[in-house]
């Protein structure tokens, strides 16, 4: 099934591998084929197999989700910090000048670590732009890059229009006032 929202920054895109369709939660990373498809979509490479990466990605995703939903909860902070502690950036110089190399203790965690690392950067620089879809039944996240910071929906098609239809129906339910006659 096609994901309803793609193209967000890596950490939010990882969160968006979970969505709700017809009242049911769909997990694009539920099986190795889905993990492989997501890695291809993001152009991410790993020496590990999709089978090996799946559990780390799903656990990392949950840690990031909880950290965004309950930023003040110590358990949520601990879980994200535990993920962040699985790797670090090492600065070095190479033939092309300065470079940063990601080092992880366990290759299975590299991509989840990268996502968590990018999430911290977003939280540091643009926390007010990290948004959850305004539809409370929708678990999708996005970085609001609209000029006036007015984006409310994961997408117009998925949630925005549904809300418009609901508002329209609510208006229609009220007694209509006859327009004054032109004659
Ligand atoms: Zn939505």
Per-residue pLDDT tens digits for 93-126:
999 999 999 999 999 999 999 999 999 999 999 9
Total residue count of the chain as it appears in this document: 183
Task: Please check whether residue 37 lies inside any domain of the structure.
Answer: yes
Q: How far is the CA of 6 from the centre of ligand 1 (A)?
A: 12
Which domain covers residue 152, as residue numbers?
10-84+115-173
Q: Residues 21-46: what's their mean pLDDT?
A: 96
Task: Please check whether residue 14 lies inside any domain of the structure.
Answer: yes
State the average pLDDT for the chain. 92
Task: Please check whether residue 76 lies inside any domain of the structure.
Answer: yes
Nearest residue to 84 via CA among 52, 121, 53, 50: 121
Task: Please check whether residue 103 lies inside any domain of the structure.
Answer: no
Q: How far is the CA of 163 from the centre of ligand 1 (A)?
A: 10
Residue 63: which CATH number?
A: 1.10.3300.10
**What band does 17 get if pLDDT is binned at 50, 70 and 90?**
very high
Number of domains in the chain: 1
Task: Please check whether residue 182 lies inside any domain of the structure.
Answer: no
Q: How far is the CA of 9 from the centre of ligand 1 (A)?
A: 16
Q: How far is the CA of 52 from the centre of ligand 1 (A)?
A: 30
**What is the C-alpha to C-alpha distance for residues 127 and 159, in angstroms, rounded to an integer?**
23
Q: How far is the CA of 153 from the centre of ligand 1 (A)?
A: 5
**What is the C-alpha to C-alpha distance for residues 57 and 67, in angstroms, rounded to an integer?**
15
* Backbone phi, psi, residue 129, to 5°: -95, -5
Q: How far is the CA of 26 from the centre of ligand 1 (A)?
A: 14
* Backbone phi, psi, residue 145, to 5°: -105, 10
* HEC per residue, 140-167: CEEECCCCCCCCCCCCHHHHHHHHHHHH
**What band does 9 get if pLDDT is binned at 50, 70 and 90?**
very high
Joined tokens for residue 138: 């929708």
The pLDDT value given to residue 158: 82
The pLDDT value given to residue 180: 60
Regarding pTM above 0.85, the answer is: yes
Per-residue pLDDT tens digits for 119-149:
999 999 999 999 999 999 999 999 999 999 9
- Chain position carrying tokens 């929906």: 153
**What band does 174 get if pLDDT is binned at 50, 70 and 90?**
low
Q: Residues 87-95: what's their mean pLDDT?
A: 96
**What band does 44 get if pLDDT is binned at 50, 70 and 90?**
very high
Task: Please check whether residue 183 lies inside any domain of the structure.
Answer: no
Give, for 21, the enclosing helix (H) or strand (E).
strand 18-21
Q: Which one-letter DSSP state was computed for residue 159?
A: I
What residues are paired with 27 via a beta bridge? Answer: 18
Task: Please check whether residue 79 lies inside any domain of the structure.
Answer: yes
């Amino acid at each position: 099934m096609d994901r309803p929202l793609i193209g967000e920054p890596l950490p939010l895109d990882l969160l968006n591998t979970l969505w709700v369709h017809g009242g049911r939660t769909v997990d694009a990373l539920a099986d190795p084929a889905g993990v492989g498809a997501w890695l291809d979509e993001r152009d991410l490479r790993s020496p590990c197999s999709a089978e090996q990466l799946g559990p780390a990605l799903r656990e990392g995703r949950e840690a990031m989700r909880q950290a965004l939903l309950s930023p003040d909860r110590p358990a949520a902070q601990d879980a994200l910090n535990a993920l962040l502690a699985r790797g670090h950036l090492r600065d070095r110089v190479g033939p092309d000048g300065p470079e940063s190399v990601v080092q992880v203790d366990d290759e299975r965690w590299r991509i989840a670590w990268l996502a968590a690392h990018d999430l911290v950067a977003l939280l540091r620089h643009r926390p007010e732009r990290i948004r959850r879809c305004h539809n409370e039944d929708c678990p999708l996240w996005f970085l609001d890059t609209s000029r006036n910071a007015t984006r409310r929906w994961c997408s117009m098609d998925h949630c925005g229009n549904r809300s418009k239809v609901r508002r329209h129906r609510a208006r229609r339910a009220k007694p209509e006032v006859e327009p004054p006659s032109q004659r």
